[in-house]
Amino acid sequence: MSQKKIHEDQKYIDGLVANNSFIIQAVYNKFAPKVVNYIKQNSGNETLAQDVIQETIITIYHQATEKDLKLTCPFDAYFFLLCKRRWLNHLKKTGNKKVTINEDILSKDDDAQELAFETSLFEQQHSLFKDMFQKLGQACKDLLTATFKIKSMEEVAESLGVTYAYARKKKSLCIGKLTKMVQESPRYKNLKP
């Protein structure tokens, strides 16, 4: 993965990370029409396509900021695959409507397949962490939020009215707790490649 050459379309990923409006606009102008057509042809409509595209871009953004996503294939192929999968999952969830899979627009690009797979894995992982974090006790949530927002543990302890030693210990235990919750979740076993 790391030896592979980074595709010039990495500029789209970098632009998303930088929250560059021009790049976001370009992604819509260049890559949205194909997705919208595909979804419309497969029991969807424009509003649903809008959601699929938006969610896909957010996922790419998360992966790029958290895991330093490097594009090894054209953005077009990667993006279309992700949107398509998201749409097929949506159809599966809402009942079995007829889906025509147009082989012509299915990507034959192995790199794109691989990268799209990694991204969907990342997304499931990210949402599992997020859900488990929400389930964490309020005390842990407050402490972790303060810890990762404020750099110094002394300040964290002070803002929460606890001692420094307690805050540090509690931080480890809360992260440990969250780690356990993630691993014990039934969703966890599907996440390892």
Partner 1 sequence: MQDQDFILFEEYLSGQLSLEEKQAFETRLERDASFNKAFEAYKETSHFLEQHIKNKAETEAFKANLERVSSAYFKKQAPLKTKRINPWYYSIAAAAILAIGFFIAQQFSSPVYDDFANYGTISLTVRGSQNDLSTKAETAFNNHNYKDAESYFSDMLDTDKANIELQLYRAVSLVELNKYDEADKLYNNIIQTPSVYKNKAIWYLALSKLKQGDEEACLNVLKNLPEEAEDYQQAQELIEKLQ
Interacting residue ranges for partner 1, rule: CB under 8 A: 16, 19, 21, 24-25, 28-29, 32, 36, 46-47, 50-51, 53-54, 57-58, 61-62, 65-66, 126, 129-130, 133, 144-145, 148-149, 168-169, 171-173, 175-176, 178-180, 182-183
Minimum CB separation of residue 165 from partner 1 in Å reads 11
Contact 56, 82 (CB under 8 A): yes
Residue nearer to partner 1 on the CB measure, 97 or 169: 169
Minimum CB separation of residue 49 from partner 1 in Å reads 8
Residue nearer to partner 1 on the CB measure, 27 or 116: 27
Minimum CB separation of residue 5 from partner 1 in Å reads 27
Give the residue among 71, 82, 72, 70 at the shortest CA–CA distance from 107: 82
Which tokens hold the place of 160?
A: 């929460």
Residue nearer to partner 1 on the CB measure, 157 or 178: 178
Minimum CB separation of residue 144 from partner 1 in Å reads 6
Write down the number of H helices and E strands in the chain.
8, 0
Q: Measure the CA–CA gap between 125 and 104, rounded to whole angstroms.
A: 31
Residue nearer to partner 1 on the CB measure, 117 or 133: 133
DSSP notation for 85-135: HHHHHHHHHT--------GGGS---HHHHHHHHHHHHHHHHHHHHHHHHHH
DSSP single-letter state for residue 6: P
Residue nearer to partner 1 on the CB measure, 41 or 54: 54
Minimum CB separation of residue 67 from partner 1 in Å reads 9
Length of the chain, in residues: 193
